[in-house]
Structure 1
């Protein structure tokens, strides 16, 4: 179930990028853009997130996802969309935006799907890192005692 949720998240940001870039520049149909999004999501999830990310880490996985997204968008765009102008630049822009989203997605995959966060690297908002401080001013007697001490020293 965790993989289905991760696939859904990945499909959503992939579809947003593909629909935005290719829909604006190439006026492609929604059906064709949907299939490009599905294929790019599936290939990138299997190769980039399940194979490269656990073995090589964030940076290599992000670079691999950038290259993989560029190649897959370029090839699929050429095959599926009726092209009136070069698709290389649009594929590169879309791949860069997807790589930026992928860097955040890799953190999600590591923490929620793989559960491989080392003990010393917890998220900054985990409940075991919260502390509560009590100052002396919260106690009425200590406030009164401080005032008396300050008055004596004057």
Structure 2
């Protein structure tokens, strides 16, 4: 259940960032496109960045990885889906803000015990003893 809450928080944060930041950079998306991008970014970044890279390499590396993933996903969506008007500047701006959000989200995951920092020698899932 706690991973569900974490996913909802991440989805809400990414959706808010994309909704507020992409138009500033000149992007034009429908609400459906925005929600689809948010969902894809949330799932991919949670599985790869938060559950795999964060416990193995730490917050700084995970933030960079999440930022790179966000950039690649947004850039691919902008180049492969003709209906998505995603400009390069908008992608860079959104990726930068997502990186800041990810830094604090990773701290939340660690503080809740959903992910263990590198070198802790513990599993990344909460388990009852």
What is the CA–CA distance in structure 2 between the aligned matches of 1:41 and 1:115, rounded to whole Å?
A: 16
Tell me the distance in 1 between the aligned counterparts of 2:115 and 2:68.
26
How far apart, CA to CA, are the structure 1 residues paired with 2:64 and 2:115?
A: 22
SS of structure 1 residue aligned to 2:83: coil
The answer as to whether partners of 1:74 and 1:91 remain within 8 angstroms in 2 is yes
Q: Does 1:30 align with 2:20?
A: no
Does structure 2 conserve the Cα–Cα contact (< 8 Å) formed by 1:53 and 1:61? yes
Unaligned runs of 5+ in 1: 118-154
Q: Which segments of structure 1 move beyond 3 Å, counting only runs of 4 or more?
A: none
The structure with higher relative contact order (CA 8 Å, sep 6+) is 2
Q: Provide TM-score, normalisation by structure 2.
A: 0.80
Match of 1:51 in 2: 52
> What corresponds to 2:73 in structure 1?
72
Per-residue deviation, 1:90: 1.0
CA shift digits 1:103-145 (9 cap, x unpaired):
000011111143647xxxxxxxxxxxxxxxxxxxxxxxxxxxx
Quick check: which has more Rg, 1 or 2? 1
Query: Greater helix share, 1 or 2?
Result: 1
Q: Secondary structure at the match of 1:28?
A: coil
User: Could you tell me how far 1:23 is from its partner in structure 2?
Assistant: 4.1
Is 2:94 the counterpart of 1:94?
Answer: yes
Mean Cα deviation higher: 74-83 or 16-25: 74-83
Q: TM-score, normalised by structure 1?
A: 0.68
